[in-house]
Structure 1
Amino acid sequence: MVERNHLQMSVKRQAELLGVNRASIYCKPSDQEDKDIELMHLIDEIYTRWPHYGYRRIRVVLRDRGCVVNKKRVLRLMRRMGIAGLCPGPNLSKRNHQHHVYPYLPRGVKPESPDHVWGIDITYIRMKGRFMYLVAIIDWYSRYILRWELSETLEQSFVIRALKRALATRKP
């Protein structure tokens, strides 16, 4: 909208009328932004396929695809995009000493027939943007899953429901 070689109106006056900073008129857009956007599309494609990759591995994949880029630039663009490799947090295997430790009751008991010893396990399944919780009731002798339930929340109701359904069909 600004004509730099206008005969009757200076660039300063044109900038005042448009309400823009005069320095932005003289600034030429760099092609670096276009390269960054192309690179961000490639990073997004790689991250969508392998969300556990960090900036180092993404850089290796980009290098294999023919892009010459260093890891600091990949890290900067990933931060700008708001993405990071999925990895476990620190100290996840350390137990909380304030929690009560329950004794292992079936110590020394060998399952000798079906329905002799049952076990139960609760785990989570990572979904896109949330978690689902899975409970499974297992017969230790046959290693058969007697009943399982899936829930969006970690409440005891779905565990009790799975146990009641297992007890309705089998008797330990």
Structure 2
Amino acid sequence: MVSRDHKLSMRKQCELLQLSRSRLYYQPVGETAENLRFMEIIDKQFLETPWYGSRQMARHMKRNNHQCGRHRVRRLMRLMRLVPIYQEPNTSKKHPQHKIWPYLLRNLVIDRANQVWCADITYIPMRRGFLYLVAIMDWHSRKVLAWRLSNSMDADFCVEALKEALAKHGDPDIFNSDQGSQFTSGAWIDVLTEAKIKISMDGKGAWRDNRMIERLWRSLKYECVYLNAFETGSEMRAGIGQWLSYYNSERPHSTHGLLTPDEAYASKKQPMRIAA
């Protein structure tokens, strides 16, 4: 049992080191064994039918003899950050304390690296729990510029990935994301505005642009995560890092014919933009 004083001490150390507690402890999120099994089933089905909401997913579970009702399906999908895509904008109420930025990509031709970046978060199952993964991607080349794992859904790990991408690759003209609380948080927005990067956000539940990074999640999960059933966070980090390195440098992307994301990024890269 960890004492209260020890927890406070660790928290102070994290603040001094400017690290999130999720990175220091790095333990997978716990759920019952039954719920973890249901979450993996839901995740695999959602990769095939990303338009399934909790009602249709509950029907799928029932048809396949899984005793998982709609209320539990809805809670697990929220925990996994699975939002069904819609052909029309979702009219759900926005978070009243977070500003929502306009969508800037309509009719925009994206034909070079560092013109538009995007980000997304996905649930990553483990043998005895799960973690969350965020990736920063260059829109044109499909290169993954930075990524982080976390056992919580706070904004810290997303901001860390964003700062790493900017430090290594310069600033994009536009950054597009969904309206998740991590991407509307003050810490995330401050980094973008200080770098004078234009902010673009999809409509809540919009389908139009998430499909690109969803293909990355599908490939990562089928080719790496589901084949390995990682035991620990360190194993997960090493396995995902190896697969993303392969994805960037060795695997030709269908968008660019024979070019890998690394090659497509290098061939269309503009000089780094230096902040005034």
**TM-score category, normalised to shorter length:** 0.3 to 0.5
In our comparison, the structure showing a higher alpha carbon Rg is 1
Select the structure with the greater relative contact order (CA < 8 A; seq sep ≥ 6): 2
TM-score (norm 2): 0.30
TM-score (norm 1): 0.45
Give the structure with the higher percent helix.
2
